[in-house]
Amino acid sequence: MTATANLSNEQTEILSTIRDFVDRDVLPNVARYDHADEFPAPLVETMKEMGLFGVTIPERYGGLGLDLTTYALIVEELSRGWISLSGVLNTHFMASFMIKTFGSEEQKDRLLPTMASGEIRCAFSMTEPHAGSDVQAIRTRAVPDGEDFVITGQKMWVTNGLRAGIVMLLAITDPSAQ
């Protein structure tokens, strides 16, 4: 458990809310979801209602605009209840961070509001059969074709792919940069 002495009042309140959610809704149900190999749709819906999918997305896009330390504390508390919930959130966070940091203004305006609300959630695909998670060994390519890219290659998993509206895919665009 995180030491609370150095937390702001806002962080303390947020963590208390997350702790209550974990204790009330997650811990009593985690074994059932794991045993049934069932996606925890009601828990994810509550996470949406709590604004967790927009924790680090700026307020101008409908997010909470919180810092990375607060995000990490939230993930820690969710993980205390069930690591799978933090996985759903982390995958989404990676995508929103990439769009927020590297996306065009059009992409930010179009995507971040629905990502902040959790209406659209994100997936991530990196692992390849011959490379595992060794990103230096990936072979999937993204080749420009007009305004689009043609993707060639093979991935093993798309983390959270069955429930995602956006997939972040790791591919090489410049083979000479390896």
Query: What confidence score (pLDDT) does residue 20 get?
Result: 98
Of 24-33, 73-82, 103-112, 135-144, the poorest mean pLDDT is in 135-144
Question: What gap in Å lies between CA 148 and CA 163, rounded to an integer?
Answer: 24
Q: Which helix (H) or strand (E) holds 135?
A: none
Q: Which two tokens stand for residue 87?
A: 């996985």
Query: What confidence score (pLDDT) does residue 5 get?
Result: 66
**Closest to 46 (Cα-Cα) out of 78, 76, 71:** 78
Which pLDDT tens digit goes with each residue over 29-75? 999 999 999 999 999 999 999 999 999 999 999 999 999 999 999 99
Question: What gap in Å lies between CA 48 and CA 121, rounded to an integer?
Answer: 10
Question: What gap in Å lies between CA 160 and CA 20, rounded to an integer?
Answer: 25
Query: What confidence score (pLDDT) does residue 157 get?
Result: 87
Nearest-5° Cα angle at 59, 54 to 62: 55
**Closest to 77 (Cα-Cα) out of 4, 144, 6:** 4
Query: What confidence score (pLDDT) does residue 4 get?
Result: 58
Question: What gap in Å lies between CA 79 and CA 22, rounded to an integer?
Answer: 9
